[in-house]
Structure 1
Amino acid sequence: MKKIQWVVLLAFFLNTLQTTGQTASFASQTASLDRLQFFLDDRPLEMTVATDFRKMQSERKKGVYQNGSVTMNLPGIDPITEDIRLYARGEFRRQNCRMPGLMVNFKTPNSPVLSPLKKMKLTCGCGPSSNEERLLLTEYLIYKMYTLFTDMSLKVRLSKVTYRDTREKMKEYTQYGFLMEDVDDMAARNSCKEVEGKTFVTEQTNRKQMTLVAIFQYMVGNTDWSVPNYHNIKLMRSKEDSLSLPYVVPYDFDFAGMVNAYYATPTQELGIEKVTERLYRGFPRRMDELQETLDIFRNKKEEVFALVSGFELIKKNERDLMLRYLQEFYTTIENPRQVQKIFIDNARTQ
């Protein structure tokens, strides 16, 4: 009788250990998916996104979700497969790309582990070719570059993504993409909240931050942005001062000259023929203001160049082209006459 009791107790003990282990494992997986920590990890993750991509491509209404699933391979964690919802985003890419950008909503009733990630943008290559992937990796580098200059920037995480069509109407392929931090999380990191639905002209924003943004856009050769139209920018304001001037946060750099995408063309009104031609779209600043901001760029030069030169997912000859493009900017800002001409004399006035 005692022998039977010991067997029962041992079985109960082992079952308790197994259950506790499963619970701890589940808890550790969930903890590792804290959204802030998720973007502090630079290790690329692997994902498989499955949905009816043909249906998505034919959907012309914005923001219409459809069901899908994702398998996520995070470093040190067993692969996780759960249901998600997603939709195509981006005006240009929805109309012109085989694979548009995606909004992925991890928070569904059938996603207990991935739900903490909530919603994130997934930036995809316009198509499955290696050239499309190179363009995307260059845009990823620009996001990483901008985080070197300010915490008021959207963090990104590189992901190797397999796109699988659930109806087998599109050939499966794998390509690098990147997930983007949610705007609310970025604002919270900076004790701010997003501003929406209010019209601001460029000079109604935080002057110092606007100067940084405009010069950064000049550095990477990006003219595809506008404050009044909220075009490829987000605005956020201090939680402690609801009347303060909002901070400008740029995103979406695929039209930048540094990327030099085959589909990117500048707006005719700007007077430049190709996106690789730099044009300063900021307003004039005093020379002392400019030099204060340009010192930030000077101080970060080594980190910027190290970021690009060490990114081996892009071929060396292409990295060299990017470095030469960046060096042109740094040569310019060391020339006082050029600084006066570009950022003061020829700056925007309206």
Structure 2
Amino acid sequence: MKNRLTPLFYLLFFGLFAGLSAQETQSVAERETTPLFADEGALPVRLNYSNTEMKRKTNDSTYLNSVMQYQKADGNWDSMEIRVRARGNWRMKNCFLTPVKIRIRKAAAKGTLFEGNKELKVVLPCANSDIGNDWVLKELLAYKMYEIITPYHFKTRRLAVAYTDQRGKKGKDYELEGFLIEDISRVADRVGGKKLKRSVHPLQQEDICSIQNDFFQFLIGNTDYSAAYQHNGKLIFVEGMKAIPVPYDFDMSGLVNANYAVVSEIQNEKLPISRVTQRLFRGWQRDAALYEETRQRYISKKPEIMALLNSYKSEFKSSKQFEEMQEFVAGFFEVLEDQENYRDKIISSLRTSK
């Protein structure tokens, strides 16, 4: 049975919790997760399309027709008609494979593992190599870490991808790491909210949620985002709260540390770092107590976050890639756990409304 809340319940709920902080409200915020994202195991899928044709013939509104096969829990395979298009301008021009967006008709998804999901993003390796697959794993773990911190996140599902790149009458086969990202509409539904299309200044966004996002971007060493311009982030609105940022796309982060990653310039703003592995806190001045609350939340989640990383150790092709990622995350907690380091790297870096 689906967990639906009545309008009367909403009135009672938000009347009861109106005085709570965003952090306290989070414990009762999350609702329904579709079966596709309820399972943490890698889902075997088979994709078959021309990567060249995808790049040349698709855009935001033009899709190619294709079929996706996936393995069910009983080991048998099923298939489903889908529509696919390229996404990600930089990766589309520079990567071995372009990331794709999938659309699934409601009738095609009905009764399948994909029911309830109309649009999905698929992350695929930028480089056709073991290290390229490890980069995908590291980006997946970024999503998984944020999931530990807040219910206002994108759900992901790891994929074991058998991809056939159609080239004329022949095709070339690849075995790849990949993962699915749910659509922002599903995120909003899951927390009883709705997506926002308009821009909202960061200081007008939910304080705790915004600080959590800024801490997370600092954790993974990401500059390729802007809460103000919704660059690699979406906004959702939950009744009784301000706009809530939901981040995505972390391949340019220091956590992933891909060989193509560069420090980003949003709105031509040059940042005082030269490498993505140099952390820079990008948060705004807010109530100091909220910063301390968020700091302590992250510290309390350290064992769970480190355990998450360790659970993927054997999945990496390169032990060096795993160890670098683990050390990078440990460095974040070293900043938070040392008062002087925390004050120097985070509190002294807070931006004003300028």
Whether the TM-score (by the shorter chain) exceeds 0.5 is: yes
Identical aligned pairs, as a percentage? 28
Shift of 1:168: 4.8
Shift of 1:345: 1.9
Between the aligned partners of 1:76 and 1:97, the Cα distance in structure 2 is 35
Report whether the alignment pairs 1:82 with 2:80. Answer: yes
Report whether the alignment pairs 1:264 with 2:261. Answer: yes
Larger-Rg structure: 1
Between the aligned partners of 1:274 and 1:170, the Cα distance in structure 2 is 38
1:321-343 Cα shifts (integer Å, max 9, x gaps): 22211121111112222222222
1:73-108 Cα shifts (integer Å, max 9, x gaps): 122252012321100011211121121111112227
**Aligned mate of 1:249, from 236, 246, 259:** 246
Of structures 1 and 2, the one with the larger relative CO (CA 8 A, separation 6+) is 2
Between the aligned partners of 1:127 and 1:341, the Cα distance in structure 2 is 37
- The one-letter code of the counterpart of 2:196 is V
Q: Give 1:340's aligned residue.
A: 343
Give the 3 Å change call, closer, same or farther, for CA 235–82 of structure 1 in structure 2: same
Q: Give 1:316's aligned residue.
A: 319
Shift of 1:140: 0.5
Q: Give 2:68's aligned residue.
A: 70
Give the 3 Å change call, closer, same or farther, for CA 264–36 of structure 1 in structure 2: same
Q: Aligned-pair RMSD on alpha carbons?
A: 2.0
Shift of 1:264: 0.7
Q: Counterpart of 1:39 in 2: which secondary structure? A: helix
- The one-letter code of the counterpart of 1:58 is R
Shift of 1:344: 2.4
Shift of 1:184: 1.3
Q: Give 1:213's aligned residue.
A: 213
- The one-letter code of the counterpart of 1:322 is M
Shift of 1:248: 0.6
Q: Give 1:102's aligned residue.
A: 100
Identify unmatched segments of 5+ residues in structure 1. Answer: 1-33
Q: Counterpart of 2:80 in 1: which secondary structure? A: strand
- The one-letter code of the counterpart of 1:97 is C
Q: Is the 2:126–2:132 Cα contact (8 Å) retained in structure 1? A: yes
Q: Counterpart of 1:172 in 2: which secondary structure? A: strand
- The one-letter code of the counterpart of 1:313 is E
Q: Give 2:175's aligned residue.
A: 174
Shift of 1:284: 2.5
Give the 3 Å change call, closer, same or farther, for CA 66–204 of structure 1 in structure 2: same
Q: Counterpart of 2:340 in 1: which secondary structure? A: helix
Q: Give 2:14's aligned residue.
A: none
Q: Counterpart of 1:148 in 2: which secondary structure? A: helix
Between the aligned partners of 2:215 and 2:169, the Cα distance in structure 1 is 46
Q: Is the 1:45–1:75 Cα contact (8 Å) retained in structure 2? A: no
Between the aligned partners of 2:89 and 2:125, the Cα distance in structure 1 is 15
Q: Is the 2:45–2:159 Cα contact (8 Å) retained in structure 1? A: yes
Between the aligned partners of 1:146 and 1:63, the Cα distance in structure 2 is 30
Give the 3 Å change call, closer, same or farther, for CA 223–86 of structure 1 in structure 2: same
Between the aligned partners of 1:150 and 1:182, the Cα distance in structure 2 is 17
Q: Is the 1:50–1:68 Cα contact (8 Å) retained in structure 2? A: yes
Q: Counterpart of 1:270 in 2: which secondary structure? A: coil
Give the 3 Å change call, closer, same or farther, for CA 270–109 of structure 1 in structure 2: same
Q: Give 1:135's aligned residue.
A: 135
Q: Give 1:307's aligned residue.
A: 308
Between the aligned partners of 2:97 and 2:106, the Cα distance in structure 1 is 23
Structure 1 range deviating more: 57-66 or 40-49 = 57-66
Matched ranges for 1:1-350 at <5 A: 36-59=34-57, 61-76=59-74, 78-107=76-105, 113-114=111-112, 116=115, 117-166=117-166, 167-168=168-169, 171-196=172-197, 198-238=198-238, 240-241=239-240, 244-267=241-264, 269-311=270-312, 312-314=314-316, 315-349=318-352, 350=354
Equivalenced residue count is 313
